[in-house]
């Protein structure tokens, strides 16, 4: 019985994530073999580029004509295919149905990564958007074929990606930005969650409480990753998760494009603007792009705030699981014990924390920052592939007609708009209070070098 409990989707995501991390660490530190997954270089057909732009891109033909490109493609599909197939088998799935479906899903994901790496498209929208868009186009036109359904395992892929992502969330990031980052990321975030919970349940009177808390976490922390973790902790349905992620991605794109423009127009400093972006833009990738649009100092400030904020994912998931088990789902005078809370707690969050602790307090002290950066360079691509499989799956499994029926008369959209507006205003106040110099000394610029 205990062995079966360790073979649930959550635990299998942990084991797969640990395997990828362990092999990645071994490959980088020993140099015995190349474990790198496929990463598309920015490509172009070469028209109308400046000399500086041309230096940053390669032709598509040259990239895809390389043996290294196809070797890394093979490594990626074999590693992920074998690990996820083993996970499906251990959960009782049929490999004869899963394997061909997975291969086709990977082909779609391959096309997504190819499209998103095109020079012009890459400057404005990250691959998460294209993964969702391609999946949505298929599901809402010709429809996803029945034989592809066995590979559409959104949560399995993204849980695994989150475990791998844990290795890159170093606790030392807290020290780098000190109380400034903590004030922006750790005080504002729970306040926004509480506000959106109150607004959704009391003002909008939404009955779907898992949806409320899932969207609140996605809005206040880091979009999809927080939505998956909180959705699992609260027992959100798959449709609820799809809606929350879709809304988050759509508005993330808008904020990524327009927030830097507004910040520049207001004359805000790079330090303050970057911190505001890090605290309000949901996706980590979008945070990097939006921060970069303001300048190098803004980019680093944005990444630091978002990195500190990302650490909250596990804590929030734990408290959501505790709250829903003891309050929301409790009936009558029934008491909920520790076992029920443990059963509800998303186990992959444990993997996320363990990976972070290992990177922060074992690998980093025993090696060097350069080694950890190299390891994360390898692991980041496996995380991205797991995420692109997940985002594509979300699109393939999402139907606009079904979403329209689930919007509860527009309440979900209103919840996000009001909640995100409150999040921006509160974060703006925290950024002004901590980084404007009116109250506290502004951090030295060498902090970001």
Give me the pLDDT at residue 192, please: 93
Name the residue with tokens 């921060």.
Answer: 291
Name the residue with tokens 């074999």.
Answer: 78
| Number of domains comprising the chain | 1
* 8-state DSSP, 295: -
| Alpha-helical regions (H) of 266-407 | 270-280, 284-294, 296-310, 312-323, 338-344, 348-358, 364-366, 369-396, 400-406
pLDDT in tens, the chain (449 residues): 455 677 888 899 999 999 999 999 999 999 999 999 998 888 876 556 665 556 667 777 778 888 999 999 999 999 999 999 999 999 989 999 999 999 999 999 999 999 888 877 776 666 777 887 888 889 888 888 999 999 998 778 978 987 898 888 776 666 666 677 778 878 888 999 999 999 999 999 888 888 899 999 888 887 777 787 788 778 888 778 878 887 887 787 778 778 888 998 898 888 889 889 988 987 766 676 677 778 777 877 787 788 777 777 777 888 888 888 777 766 544 454 566 556 666 677 788 889 988 998 999 899 988 898 899 999 989 998 998 898 888 788 777 666 666 555 578 889 999 999 999 999 999 989 888 777 777 665 434 34
Token pair for 123: 């400057």
Token pair for 42: 């920015």
Token pair for 92: 């009782």
DSSP line for 56-92 = T-EEHHHHHT-HHHHHHHHHHHHHHHHHHHHHHHHTT
Residues 6+ apart with CB under 8 A from 328: 209, 234
Q: Give, in order, the Cα–Cα distances in Å from 202 to each of 63, 125, 198, 369.
A: 55, 36, 5, 48
Residues 6+ apart with CB under 8 A from 360: 170, 171, 172
Secondary structure (3-state) at 267: coil
Give me the pLDDT at residue 446, please: 39
Give me the pLDDT at residue 403, please: 62
Give me the pLDDT at residue 333, please: 47
Contact present, 57 and 41 (Cβ < 8 Å): yes
CA distance 98 to 81: 10
Range of the domain at 79: 2-448
Residues 6+ apart with CB under 8 A from 388: 109, 112, 113, 127, 128, 131
């Amino acid at each position: 019985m205990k062995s079966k409990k360790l073979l649930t989707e959550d635990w299998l995501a942990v084991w797969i994530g640990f395997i990828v991390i362990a092999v990645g660490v071994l490959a980088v530190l020993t140099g015995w073999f190349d474990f790198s997954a496929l990463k598309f270089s920015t490509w172009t057909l070469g028209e109308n580029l400046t000399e500086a732009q041309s230096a940053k891109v390669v032709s598509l033909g040259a990239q895809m004509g390389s043996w290294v490109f196809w070797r890394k493609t093979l490594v990626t599909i074999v590693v992920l295919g074998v690990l996820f197939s083993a996970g499906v088998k251990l959960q009782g799935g049929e490999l004869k149905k899963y394997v061909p479906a997975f291969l086709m899903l990977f082909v779609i994901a391959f096309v997504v990564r190819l499209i998103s790496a095109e020079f012009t498209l890459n400057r404005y929208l990250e691959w998460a958007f294209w993964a969702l868009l391609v999946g949505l186009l298929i599901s809402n036109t010709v429809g996803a074929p029945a034989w592809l359904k066995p590979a559409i395992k959104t949560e399995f892929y993204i849980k695994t990606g989150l475990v791998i992502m844990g290795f890159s969330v170093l606790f030392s990031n807290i020290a780098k930005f000190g109380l400034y980052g903590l004030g922006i990321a750790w005080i504002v975030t729970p306040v926004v969650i509480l506000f959106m919970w109150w607004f959704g349940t009391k003002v909008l009177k939404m009955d779907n409480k898992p949806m409320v808390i899932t969207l609140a976490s996605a809005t206040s922390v880091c979009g999809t990753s927080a939505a998956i973790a909180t959705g699992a902790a609260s027992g959100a349905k798959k449709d609820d998760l799809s809606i929350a992620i879709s809304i988050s991605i759509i508005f993330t794109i808008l904020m990524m494009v327009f927030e830097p423009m507004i910040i520049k127009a207001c004359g805000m400093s790079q330090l303050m603007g970057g911190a505001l972006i890090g605290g309000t833009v949901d996706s980590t990738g979008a945070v990097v792009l939006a921060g970069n649009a303001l300048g190098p100092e803004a980019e680093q400030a944005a990444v630091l705030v978002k990195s500190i904020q990302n650490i909250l994912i596990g804590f929030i998931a734990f408290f959501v699981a505790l709250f829903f088990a003891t309050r929301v789902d409790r009936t009558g005078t029934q008491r909920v014990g520790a076992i029920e809370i443990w059963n509800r707690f998303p186990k992959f969050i444990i993997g996320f924390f363990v990976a972070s602790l290992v990177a922060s307090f074992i690998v980093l002290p025993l090696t060097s920052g350069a080694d950890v950066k190299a390891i994360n360079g390898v692991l980041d691509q496996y995380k991205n592939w797991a995420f692109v499989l997940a985002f594509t799956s979300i699109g393939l499994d999402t139907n606009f007609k079904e979403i329209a029926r689930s919007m509860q008369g527009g309440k979900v959209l209103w919840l996000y708009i009001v909640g995100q507006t409150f999040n921006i205003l509160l974060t703006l106040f925290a950024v002004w209070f901590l980084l404007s110099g009116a109250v506290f000394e502004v951090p030295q610029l060498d902090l970001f070098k």
